[in-house]
Amino acid sequence: MIENSANVLINIYNEIERLLSNNTIQVSLPQDIPYGIQFNVSQFTNSGVLRIYLNKKGIVKIDFSQINQETFRQRIENIINEHQVKLDAGNSTKANNVVINSDLNYEPVIGIDESGKGDYFGPLVTAAIYVSKKNKVLLDNKGVRDSKKLLDDKIIVLNEYIKDVCNNQYTVVEISPEKYNQLYDTFTSEGKKLNTLLAWAHAKSLEKVLLKVECNKAISDQFADERFILSKLQERGKKIDLVQQHKAEIHTAVAAASILARARFLEKLKKLSDEVGFNLLKGASSEVVSQAKKIVEIKGEDILKRIAKVHFKTTKSVLS
């Protein structure tokens, strides 16, 4: 199968995988078949195989015939047919109401994302990664997607794969809780907000990748005024077209960055856990508050500055 055709099919697979996963249907990684790909779908006792292929006229088709349970097959057809999704502007192919990008116009891009922003314990981590057209196909085939939709074990495996495929054309910037708290105090004392700190961290990651590769475009989630990031780069003579959009993780490069960032966050959270003797919880739930209270009882309030983001409202609950 030629590369452009493979890209078309993988884009359709990625969108179907997202739609079905959102409806609690398990989707396996795709396997090559003549003129297409296939993958398993399952939910409870129901299971079957979906196939995406190019017919003799070069038209993309989705084959539901290998799902024997009629109710389950109809449910999957309805989910796919009820959603019309356009991944990007440009050339596209339509099949069963799924609109996908053929990737004919794909340009290399740097994806940027962060992890730990909503976690009370642990560092803030940002990552940036350059993804070429060839590497995009490899990452898509491997199942790279938004880290929030992956289990920790899968994130760790994909983290190693991404690093191998992208051959050091990435960077990961880790801000320890202690450093994070110092930076937060500095930024707020200057009248700046948390988003400014996040933008600073994103700019740092992007800058380091631009020292390794030349690229004209970067994509990140929309959370701050992009002028701050661009101004930090321009101070060092760097120029780039920065695109910020909601749910930017639909782009392979941003999804890959999210995995790199999350893997480092998990690594450092485990290290902090070993140091304090508690298996530190993720997030900022009531369970996190209870755990933090136990830690403070044993080790004192000062420990929070070393293991947690103390500006969270969580801290007030812990110390009340």
CA dist 61 and 313 (Å) reads 51
DSSP annotation of 37 reads E
Q: Which domain holds residue 91?
A: 3-101
Of 71-80, 83-92, 217-226, the poorest mean pLDDT is in 83-92
Q: Supply the pLDDT for residue 170.
A: 97
Interstrand relation of 109-115 and 217-221 (parallel, antiparallel or unpaired): parallel
Residue 248 lies in a domain: yes
pLDDT at 239 exceeding the cut of 80: no
Residue 60 lies in a domain: yes
Encoded amino acid at 159, one letter: N
Residue 313 lies in a domain: no
Residue 38 lies in a domain: yes
Task: Tell me the pLDDT of the chain averaged across its residues.
Answer: 85
Answer for the pair 251, 267: CB distance below 8 angstroms, yes or no: no
- Write the CATH number for 123: 3.30.420.10
Pick from 116, 120, 119: which is nearest to 317 by CA? Answer: 120
Q: Supply the pLDDT for residue 83.
A: 62
Q: Is the pTM of this model over 0.75?
A: no
Secondary structure element (H or E) that encloses residue 204, with its range: helix 194-210
Helix, strand, or coil (residue 260)? helix
Confidence of residue 110 (pLDDT cuts 50, 70, 90): very high
- Write the CATH number for 75: 3.30.310.240
Rounded average pLDDT over 249-270: 95
pLDDT at 234 exceeding the cut of 70: no
Residue 285 lies in a domain: no
Rounded average pLDDT over 98-115: 69
CB count in 10 Å sphere of residue 314: 21
Q: Which one of 54, 83, 101 terminates a domain?
A: 101
Cα separations (Å) of 250 from 30, 85, 140? 18, 11, 11
Q: Supply the pLDDT for residue 105.
A: 57
pLDDT at 50 exceeding the cut of 80: yes
Q: Which one of 37, 69, 101 terminates a domain?
A: 101
Claim to verify: residue 149 and residue 264 sit in the same structural domain? yes
DSSP annotation of 191 reads T
CB count in 10 Å sphere of residue 320: 7
The b-or-e profile of 288-301 (16+ CB within 10 A means b, else e) is: bbebbeebbeeeee
Q: Supply the pLDDT for residue 238.
A: 67
Rounded average pLDDT over 104-119: 87
Confidence of residue 262 (pLDDT cuts 50, 70, 90): very high
Claim to verify: residue 262 and residue 128 sit in the same structural domain? yes
Claim to verify: residue 243 and residue 226 sit in the same structural domain? yes
Claim to verify: residue 140 and residue 236 sit in the same structural domain? yes
Residue 280 lies in a domain: no
Claim to verify: residue 50 and residue 124 sit in the same structural domain? no
Share of the chain above pLDDT 70, in %: 86
pLDDT at 183 exceeding the cut of 90: yes
Give the burial class of 208: count Cβ atoms within 10 A of its Cβ; 0-12 exposed, 13-18 middle, 19 or more buried. middle
Rounded average pLDDT over 286-301: 96
Residue 278 lies in a domain: no
Q: Which one of 101, 131, 156 terminates a domain?
A: 101
Claim to verify: residue 89 and residue 191 sit in the same structural domain? no
Claim to verify: residue 175 and residue 54 sit in the same structural domain? no
Rounded average pLDDT over 17-22: 85
Secondary structure element (H or E) that encloses residue 127, with its range: strand 124-131
Q: Supply the pLDDT for residue 194.
A: 82
Backbone angles phi, psi at 52, to 5 degrees: -120, 125
Claim to verify: residue 134 and residue 47 sit in the same structural domain? no
Q: Supply the pLDDT for residue 104.
A: 44
Backbone angles phi, psi at 27, to 5 degrees: -130, 125
pLDDT at 236 exceeding the cut of 60: no
Q: Supply the pLDDT for residue 88.
A: 32
Chain segment 143-172, per-residue pLDDT in tens: 888 898 888 999 999 999 999 999 899 999
pLDDT at 99 exceeding the cut of 50: no
The b-or-e profile of 230-261 (16+ CB within 10 A means b, else e) is: bebbeeeeeebebebeeebbbbbbbbbbbbbb
Claim to verify: residue 157 and residue 241 sit in the same structural domain? yes
CA dist 284 and 120 (Å) reads 5
DSSP string, 13-28: HHHHHHHHHTTT-EEP
DSSP string, 136-180: HHHHHHHT---GGGS-HHHHHHHHHHHHHHHTT-EEEEEE-HHHH
Give the burial class of 316: count Cβ atoms within 10 A of its Cβ; 0-12 exposed, 13-18 middle, 19 or more buried. exposed
Q: Supply the pLDDT for residue 96.
A: 37
pLDDT at 85 exceeding the cut of 90: no
